[in-house]
Amino acid sequence: MEETKRLFKKLKITTILELALITPTSYNDTTLSSEIIPSKIGTFEAIVKEVESIGGKLRVSFWLSAFHQPLYATFFRTTPYHYGLFRVGSVHIIQGRVEVYHQMLQMSQPKSLKEIGKITPKYKTVLKESEMRALMETYLHRQNLLREGLNQSEAEKIIAIHFPPHKEAILDASGLRLEMVETLKFVEALNHLKKLRTKRVNYPAIRALNGDTSPFLERLPFALTSEQNQVIDAIRLDLAKSHKAAKRMVVGDVGSGKTMVILASVMMALPHKSILMAPTSLLALQLYEEACKYLPPTISIALAMQSRAEGNFESADFVIGTHALLYKEHLPEVSLVMIDEQHRFGTQQRQQLEALSNAQEGKRTHTIQFSATPIPRTQAMMDSELIDVSLITTTPFVRDVTTISISKPDFGKLLGHISLEIEAGHQVLVVYPLVEESDEVPYQSLEESRGFWEKRFEDVYVTHGKDKNKEDKLLEFRQKGKILLATTVIEVGISLPKLTLIIIVGAERMGLATLHQLRGRVGRNGLKSWCYLYSHSTPNERLREFADTTSGFDIAKLDLKFRNSGDILDGTIQSGQRFRWLDMAEDEAIIAKAKERLNVSIR
């Protein structure tokens, strides 16, 4: 047992399924060859006809009985063992690469085999061949594999990979047979899910929450989409439990209407308190305004920011704030903690946020997080082992955004289009890769270009990540600006309803998730909008596919596809675990099967 532990540790594995996933890199086959194929490895029965020693080398002339042909073998590294072994007249099974020289068959340093008809897997690991064999023999048997959750046929395939009866059972011309690969994918998914499942810790909630949402829903000027309703229903079930504090992540595209889910949750928490954290004051302010607009007037709402405070923080039913909230000495006792745009918080802040949900006696508040970074459905299926995940894949408006890739020669036409939009009372956003000039980036920076825009257009606003007045400027621009020049700072989810045209400079340098977030800035209220991807390197396959894809969830899938092909990406999407067999873009069905298996075996 100790020994196994040590070997598993060396292999960096912890489970039997992971052992099963260490597949042989090749198979040593000692089946006699049925034909002689030059430059391939062959295995033959051979009789020694003549032995010669020339200058330390040993030359053995064999007779291949099955083929009635001679074969000349040379041994460069010889030991007395070799001389004793190859006596004239003795019969051997030799194995080596066949070469043809002057029309004669040759083989250098062939092996003399003791057995024939055996297929031995070769593993490339830090362990010795014999240690590896021993591990496989000890652990990879049917009973163990069934206990790990595989069915008969999957267990048989895994056993065949490690103990093949003959090569054809596992290999075909292209390598491992498809059904073997499918099984390995399944094993990989199952193993990963099992490990995640053991990591999830559930805590009791402070209390169950059962507030009525109808006073809020009845006042809404629109009907919720069916996905919004589904998420709200899921949260209702979560919050109604007291033995288990809710831990849910709501992932929805930009503009999918997550705020309504937040407000409905506030209603459910009543008469107890909720708190909502936003990554920026601008966003907090916007959420505060929306809460005031849509929640019934009987509900007291407070805004708590460094720069501004509204309402009574101590007594409010619903407190909205930024991470400044974390430093407040006396937070009122809340029963529901919500975090908007959670992907915008740093790791350290997330840990602090976690502390917000701690209550007395090991209990936790219910916690719901919201993220606008779409994750592939496959990723959501995996993640949901740790945290419940709800996806919102539709938006309440049909958003009409046309995406167009352009480069230098198209710039004149683009200026014409910009003027038209401004005349129509709309707004334009230009996103630059950098604030200041850099040798590394072959595009104009924000500072280099601003003169150009200011000369040609009125009401040009400029802001970027390090701009101290960023939030004020954005608010002013929302009121009366025409053109906004910015860096990707604008990514944070503030809404600019009149924005109908966005130009992303150096688009090929950005990750698809970022591009998608940026594109989500326009057409928020259903106005016909355009997203121009400006790039020196068009045509670009990745941008072309991006232009044709509108759903964030499909973008996430695209991202997986191009990620594998090595594009520059900004890592906005957490790539999570890397898999050897499983393809997160394609193998949804396999992951679903693994999840189902796990649920069945647990019940």
Contacting residues toward Mg ion, per CB under 5 A? 258, 493
Cβ closer to ligand ADP: 369 or 535?
369
The answer to whether 225 contacts ligand ADP (rule: CB under 6 A) is: yes
Residue 218 Cβ vs ligand ADP, minimum distance, rounded to whole Å: 14
The answer to whether 523 contacts ligand ADP (rule: CB under 6 A) is: no
> Which residues between 447 and 476 bind ligand ADP (CB under 6 A)?
none
The answer to whether 487 contacts ligand ADP (rule: CB under 6 A) is: no
> Which residues between 359 and 388 bind ligand ADP (CB under 6 A)?
372
Residue 258 Cβ vs ligand ADP, minimum distance, rounded to whole Å: 3
With both helix axes pointing from N to C terminus, report the angle between 281-294 and 258-269 in degrees, rounded to the nearest 10: 60
Residue 136 Cβ vs Mg ion, minimum distance, rounded to whole Å: 52
Considering only 43, 256, 373, 488, the residue that binds ligand ADP (CB under 6 A) is 256
Altogether, the residues listed in the chain come to a count of 603
Cβ closer to ligand ADP: 93 or 299?
299
Residue 222 Cβ vs ligand ADP, minimum distance, rounded to whole Å: 4
CA distances, 317 to each of 20, 76, 416 (Å) = 54, 87, 50
Cβ closer to ligand ADP: 377 or 509?
377
CA distances, 240 to each of 200, 203, 269 (Å) = 20, 14, 10
Which one of the spans 112-120, 182-190, 254-262, 560-568 is the region binding ligand ADP (CB under 6 A)? 254-262
Number of neighbours of residue 599 by Cβ within 10 angstroms: 11
Residue 260 Cβ vs ligand ADP, minimum distance, rounded to whole Å: 5
**Nearest one of 221, 281, 253 to 521, comparing CA atoms:** 253
Question: Which single residue is written with the structure tokens 């297929």?
Answer: 119
Do the Cβ atoms of 125 and 7 come closer than 8 Å?
no
Number of neighbours of residue 59 by Cβ within 10 angstroms: 14
Cβ closer to Mg ion: 258 or 273?
258
> Which residues between 7 and 66 bind ligand ADP (CB under 6 A)?
none
Cβ closer to Mg ion: 258 or 343?
258
What is the end-to-end Cα distance of the chain in Å, rounded?
A: 30
Cβ closer to ligand ADP: 164 or 252?
252
Residue 527 Cβ vs Mg ion, minimum distance, rounded to whole Å: 19
Considering only 24, 311, 376, 493, the residue that binds ligand ADP (CB under 6 A) is 493
Q: Which does 106 bind (CB under 5 to 8 A by kind): ligand ADP, Mg ion, none?
A: none
Cβ closer to ligand ADP: 211 or 252?
252
Considering only 258, 426, 516, 597, the residue that binds ligand ADP (CB under 6 A) is 258
Residue 491 Cβ vs ligand ADP, minimum distance, rounded to whole Å: 12
Do the Cβ atoms of 139 and 148 come closer than 8 Å?
no
Burial of 560 (0-12, 13-18, 19+ CB in 10 A): buried
CA quadruple 88, 93, 99, 102: dihedral positive or negative?
Answer: positive
Q: Which does 256 bind (CB under 5 to 8 A by kind): Mg ion, ligand ADP, none?
A: ligand ADP
Cis peptide before 433 (omega within 30 of 0): no
Residue 256 Cβ vs Mg ion, minimum distance, rounded to whole Å: 8
Burial of 94 (0-12, 13-18, 19+ CB in 10 A): buried
541 contact partners, CB below 8 Å, separation of at least 6: none
Strand 388-392 and strand 336-339: the pairing is unpaired
Number of residues that bind ligand ADP (CB under 6 A): 16
**Nearest one of 456, 450, 420, 428 to 437, comparing CA atoms:** 450
Residue 186 Cβ vs Mg ion, minimum distance, rounded to whole Å: 37
Q: Which does 257 bind (CB under 5 to 8 A by kind): Mg ion, ligand ADP, none?
A: ligand ADP
Strand 57-64 and strand 483-486: the pairing is unpaired
User: Letter for the amino acid at 157?
Assistant: K
Residue 372 Cβ vs Mg ion, minimum distance, rounded to whole Å: 6
Structure tokens belonging to residue 252: 């929805």
Which one of the spans 90-98, 181-189, 257-265, 429-437 is the region binding ligand ADP (CB under 6 A)? 257-265
CA distance 295 to 218: 10
> Which residues between 121 and 140 bind ligand ADP (CB under 6 A)?
none
Residue 259 Cβ vs Mg ion, minimum distance, rounded to whole Å: 5
Cβ closer to ligand ADP: 225 or 551?
225
Considering only 252, 279, 374, 552, the residue that binds ligand ADP (CB under 6 A) is 252
Which one of the spans 82-90, 171-179, 217-225, 322-330 is the region binding ligand ADP (CB under 6 A)? 217-225
CA distance 76 to 59: 9
**Nearest one of 120, 117, 337, 323 to 245, comparing CA atoms:** 337
Do the Cβ atoms of 584 and 560 come closer than 8 Å?
yes
Strand 274-277 and strand 336-339: the pairing is parallel
Which one of the spans 5-13, 179-187, 198-206, 224-232 is the region binding ligand ADP (CB under 6 A)? 224-232
CA distance 288 to 301: 8
DSSP 8-class letter at 353:
H
The answer to whether 295 contacts ligand ADP (rule: CB under 6 A) is: no
Give the residue ranges of DSSP H helices in 320-397. Answer: 347-356, 377-383
Considering only 42, 257, 321, 374, the residue that binds ligand ADP (CB under 6 A) is 257
Considering only 76, 101, 222, 327, the residue that binds ligand ADP (CB under 6 A) is 222
The answer to whether 254 contacts ligand ADP (rule: CB under 6 A) is: yes
The answer to whether 260 contacts ligand ADP (rule: CB under 6 A) is: yes
Helix (H, G, I), strand (E, B) or coil at 550: coil
Q: Which does 24 bind (CB under 5 to 8 A by kind): Mg ion, ligand ADP, none?
A: none
CA distance 443 to 308: 38
Helix (H, G, I), strand (E, B) or coil at 12: coil
With both helix axes pointing from N to C terminus, report the angle between 152-162 and 178-199 in degrees, rounded to the nearest 10: 110
The answer to whether 517 contacts ligand ADP (rule: CB under 6 A) is: no
Considering only 211, 396, 506, 523, the residue that binds ligand ADP (CB under 6 A) is 396
Which residues make up the interface to ligand ADP (CB under 6 A)? Answer: 222, 224-225, 228, 252, 254-260, 372, 396, 493, 495
